[in-house]
Structure 1
Amino acid sequence: MAVTLRDVAKALGVSHTTVSNAYNRPEKLSDQLRLRILGAAEQMGYQGPDPLAAGLVRRQAGALGVLFDEDLAHALTDPAAQLFLQGVARAGQTSALALTLLPGPQAGGDPELAARTALVDGFIVYSVSAGHPGFQAARRRDIPLVVVDEPAPPHGDDWMYLGVDDRGGAAQAAQHLRDLGHRRVAVLVDRLTPGDRRGPVDAARLAATTYQVAGERLAGYRSVLGDTPVIWECGGGAPEHAVPAARALLAGPDRVTAVLAMTDELARGFLRTAETLGYDVPGDVSVIGFDDVPEANRTDPPLTTVRQPLIGKGVRAVEVLTGARSPGERLPATLVTRATTAPPPD
């Protein structure tokens, strides 16, 4: 079996990126470390990185695989996923790269087989659970791979990663509500684990969270609001998934006065339901989303939300994969205040 770059990294106790830099970005290493890596690689019989991994310079398939956790209908209709793909396509077009979209377990089928046999020169893994079978199969292939959003690499591992400051963005949203005077707040989360579970979240369910982005955003909200928010798992991120939550959270004398939604689509679903039930936004209940998709500025009233650079994230993912940008970056997430937030009703 041929010696790989990962074999050299493991033998030396350094990261995959460090060994890659010895060949492709020598200016990032000291002369002593680079010579140590090159010497060890020669002794092990490693011939240097595949040109594909050094920037996809000599492609075999001329395509990038984009691996999702959802079905392809979601990838093509969800506004946040659309914008991310737009960025990937924009950067890929510059390099004359086609896109191969690979669905996840939510779509049925065999994602492990799809990732193992896809004719691609590299993978962009978009927001999947760590146990996603397609992700594990893609990692076993000796071709470039970058993970976007999640799973972030655990300590001791070194897959290329690009993320967003989800915790910081969520904390900004929560602080905005706190400054307005809200105390009865709910959080709408799409999913904490794979599946379509719906309903209030207790401590045991919260501890079982496997989606890291959801965990980070919850940590951001709770860093400001403590354990007081009601957390409601919606079983998905589309507007219709927010309807049962809205009906439950707006019922009774102790109804919530503000909602933090983990996606703009959930926020839009909550807005529609609140209006149907006769509640005024923001007079009766304030709503904050996350993503800042174009539809967020078209809701009535326009949605306060947390903006992340969705198109830019797609562009950067391709740049990381092709070696034009270093991995490990966390992009900013910034609160955008519009018309769906106000002080709580008296």
Structure 2
Amino acid sequence: MIEYKKKLTIKDMAKALNVSTATISNAFNRPDQLSESLRLRIIEGCQRLGYEGPNAAARSLRTGVSGIVGVLLADSLSYCISDPVASQFLAGLADVLDQRQCNMLLLPGQEEQTSYKSRQMESMVDGYIIYGGLHPSKRFQRLLQQSKPIIAVDVDTTDFITVNIDNQEGAYRSARLALQHRPQKVAIISLRLTPVSSVSWATCDACYASPASVSRSRWLGYMQALQEYNYPLEQLSVVDVPVNTHRNACMAAFMLLSQEERPDVIICMSDRMALGALQVALQQHIAVPNDLKIVGFDGIAESQFTHPTLTTVQQYNELKGQMAGNMFLGLTPRQNVILPTDMLMGETCPEVMS
């Protein structure tokens, strides 16, 4: 028969190590309050006796603070972990939380079923960072009812404090660069501007009618540049993709490059889309940039490892994560932030030399 040992408490450890319960608690939760030698003596003593530290759930109930930040994602967990932009953002946020010995709880926004377990997890967090978009899910509605701090990142909203980039300006600059080459036929691969579940052709009217989002801001930037260059919008080809994956990007690019009147410029709302377009172009023996120019958006590392290298808009995703984390923890003022972008000049769309 297995013999179960009594679980050690903080009082047991205080007595065994001849210190107060507050000192034991500080060794685990507020190490800056103790000398390094005392903290190490307590941690080593606890490890030797098999004590893992104060109960986090009990501490949360007692203090009202758990040290856990909920991150509500617009997409699935698997997508956000594999997507280079989302993973860079999470890395920046984790960097700040690590320094403050806090944790993050990743929550997919599109919850299909409500369970006791999911409600229990949500109750543990000190507040939320919403990343990538707002979804009218049951989870989002519960989040609003909790009256906990909320910071939104890459979300076009006036309801919360936000950390964003200037998407419209970045998109405008990238489109203007491409249009300097005076193309005959322009195409755009857009993201989630129309309510479709598959890669589909889209009209300008449908894209304009899209609700406020990061993608719509980029669309407005593209339209601003096209109108400045007096490009006839009735000649514009647009393919909209529902999810930013390499497979969808290749499908969209194949549709565009299979037209009888093939585009000589493709403007993409993400680097994944641009890399997909580049792959399809090379497979069809289309010379880039001589016969086709491609611009992306994001500045992911992979964009500079291709041949030819990608011309794109550089955004600083880790910085966004760091700024959101610092703001959430009260280390910097909670106020709206719009970060600038830079053009990252590659070989797929060179600058026009005057």
Q: Normalised by the size of structure 2, how large is the TM-score?
A: 0.74
**Aligned equivalents of 1:112, 1:261: Cα separation in 2:** 42
- Residue correspondences, number: 282
Out of 308, 314, 319, which is 2:315 matched to? 308
**Aligned equivalents of 2:116, 2:167: Cα separation in 1:** 28
Q: How do residues 81-96 of structure 1 correspond to structure 2 at under 5 angstroms?
A: 81-96=86-101
Q: How do residues 99-248 of structure 1 correspond to structure 2 at under 5 angstroms?
A: 99-105=104-110, 108-110=112-114, 114=118, 117-118=121-122, 119-129=124-134, 131-153=136-158, 157=159, 159-192=160-193, 196-210=197-211, 212-226=213-227, 227=233, 229-248=236-255
**Aligned equivalents of 1:72, 1:111: Cα separation in 2:** 18
C-alpha change, 1:173 and 1:240, in structure 2 (3 Å) is same
Cα distance, 1:152 vs structure 2: 1.5
Out of 268, 279, 301, which is 1:272 matched to? 279
One-letter identity of the residue aligned with 1:84 = F
C-alpha change, 1:287 and 1:98, in structure 2 (3 Å) is same
The answer as to 2:261 corresponding to 1:254 is: yes
C-alpha change, 1:193 and 1:211, in structure 2 (3 Å) is farther
CA contact (8 A) 1:66 1:124 kept: yes
**Aligned equivalents of 1:343, 1:95: Cα separation in 2:** 44
CA contact (8 A) 2:93 2:321 kept: yes
One-letter identity of the residue aligned with 2:256 = L
**Aligned equivalents of 2:319, 2:283: Cα separation in 1:** 36
Q: 1:326 maps to which residue? A: 334
Per-residue displacement from partner, 1:68-111 (whole Å, max 9, x unpaired)?
11110011110001100000100111111111100122x74449
Larger radius of gyration: 2
**Aligned equivalents of 1:111, 1:261: Cα separation in 2:** 39
CA contact (8 A) 2:109 2:135 kept: no
Cα distance, 1:187 vs structure 2: 1.2
Cα distance, 1:205 vs structure 2: 2.4
CA contact (8 A) 1:192 1:211 kept: no
The answer as to 2:286 corresponding to 1:285 is: no
The answer as to 2:264 corresponding to 1:263 is: no
Cα distance, 1:204 vs structure 2: 4.6
Unpaired runs of 5+ residues, structure 2, are: 1-62, 228-232
With 135-144 and 274-283 compared, the bigger mean Cα shift is at 135-144
Q: 2:51 maps to which residue? A: none
The answer as to 2:305 corresponding to 1:298 is: yes
C-alpha change, 1:210 and 1:133, in structure 2 (3 Å) is farther
Q: 2:345 maps to which residue? A: 337
**Aligned equivalents of 1:197, 1:127: Cα separation in 2:** 20
CA contact (8 A) 2:189 2:240 kept: yes
Q: 2:80 maps to which residue? A: 75
Unpaired runs of 5+ residues, structure 1, are: 1-57
- The two structures, once aligned, show a CA RMSD in angstroms of 2.4
Cα distance, 1:306 vs structure 2: 0.3
CA contact (8 A) 2:194 2:207 kept: no
Q: 2:65 maps to which residue? A: 60
**Residue 180 of structure 2: SS of its match in structure 1?**
helix
**Residue 69 of structure 2: SS of its match in structure 1?**
strand
Cα distance, 1:190 vs structure 2: 2.1
Per-residue displacement from partner, 1:236-293 (whole Å, max 9, x unpaired)?
1111111221112112441111111111111111111111122121122111111101
One-letter identity of the residue aligned with 1:127 = G
- Percent identity over paired residues: 27
Cα distance, 1:180 vs structure 2: 1.9
**Aligned equivalents of 1:134, 1:113: Cα separation in 2:** 12
CA contact (8 A) 1:112 1:137 kept: no
C-alpha change, 1:292 and 1:186, in structure 2 (3 Å) is same
**Aligned equivalents of 1:304, 1:341: Cα separation in 2:** 6
**Aligned equivalents of 1:195, 1:322: Cα separation in 2:** 38
CA contact (8 A) 1:182 1:343 kept: no
C-alpha change, 1:115 and 1:150, in structure 2 (3 Å) is farther
CA contact (8 A) 2:177 2:351 kept: no
Cα distance, 1:67 vs structure 2: 0.8
Cα distance, 1:135 vs structure 2: 3.1
**Aligned equivalents of 1:313, 1:111: Cα separation in 2:** 32
**Aligned equivalents of 1:221, 1:144: Cα separation in 2:** 34
CA contact (8 A) 1:112 1:134 kept: no
